Amino acid sequence: DQQVKQNSPSLSVQEGRISILNCDYTNSMFDYFLWYKKYPAEGPTFLISISSIKDKNEDGRFTVFLNKSAKHLSLHIVPSQPGDSAVYFCAASPGSQGNLIFGKGTKLSVKP
Amino acid sequence: GAVVSQHPSWVICKSGTSVKIECRSLDFQATTMFWYRQFPKQSLMLMATSNEGSKATYEQGVEKDKFLINHASLTLSTLTVTSAHPEDSSFYICSAPGISRYNEQFFGPGTRLTVL
């Protein structure tokens, strides 16, 4: 049973517009949530994280929103750029410095 | 950010042979490292947690005798796929926890294993 779900396998967005990637989870004990970006045949690259005690964290063009009551988080990228095209993984951590549980990823395509 | 390297980046081997994959933390020490496996169009699945100086902790369904993990130093963990079979063909990625406030893990570039 998947604890972290990314229900959209792909997303296509026009350059300059907002990209919204969604993630749902089932375990209320997760205390950190992270987003990773991954290119083919490369390891994931950390983008941004959020603690479960917060509802928003912003870093440049990337903002993560957390809705604990709905067990839902989202990553907003604005403005989207063609270089953002990659697979984005949502991950949850059950404890500090612990292992990560990943969603299946969403492939984002940003068209010029 | 911290750098994690993996070697080799890709390997092709015959069925029945053993393959060793190295994971190194280049500019920091890691008492814990994680090994993941990713099949095409699938998520990264945690295989095991590698602990420096002690036995690795394996996830349910992962054969510890087939996937041997050795974490002999604070900067090196190795994963050996023993008696590899075509179904072991996958993308293997290691990671090490960071020490910043972001609680992130730093991933290696991955190793593509193809078993013929």
Q: Collect all residues of chain A within an 8 Å Cβ-Cβ radius of residue B98.
A: 46
Chain A: closest CA distance from residue B8 (Å): 13
Indicate the range of A2-6, B27-31, B87-91 predicted with least confidence: B27-31
Residue B101: the pLDDT is 58
B8 touches chain A (CB under 8 A): no
Four-residue CA torsion sign, A99, A39, B40, A43: negative
Outline where DSSP puts E strands in B3-43. Answer: 4-7, 10-13, 19-25, 32-38
Asked if A49's CB is within 8 angstroms of B102's CB, the reply is: yes
> pLDDT tens-digit profile of A66-84?
999 999 999 999 999 999 9
Asked if A49's CB is within 8 angstroms of B104's CB, the reply is: yes
Asked if B108's CB is within 8 angstroms of A97's CB, the reply is: no
> pLDDT tens-digit profile of A5-62?
999 999 999 999 999 999 999 998 888 899 999 998 888 999 999 999 999 999 999 9
Nearest to B87 by CA among B41, B51, B40, B48: B40
Q: Is the pLDDT of residue A97 over 60?
A: no
B48 CB contacts (<8 Å, ≥6 apart)? B34, B35, B56, B57, B58, B59, B62, B64, B67, B69
Distance CA B59, CA B37 (A): 12
- The pair of structure tokens assigned to B93 is 């990625």
Sheet with B19-25, side-by-side order of all strands: B4-7, B19-25, B76-81, B67-73
Residue A9: the pLDDT is 93
Closest chain A residue to B90, measured at CA: A41
Confidence bin at B103 (pLDDT 50/70/90): low
One-letter identity of residue B108: G
Asked if A102's CB is within 8 angstroms of B43's CB, the reply is: yes
> pLDDT tens-digit profile of B32-46?
999 999 988 788 899
Residue A40: the pLDDT is 84
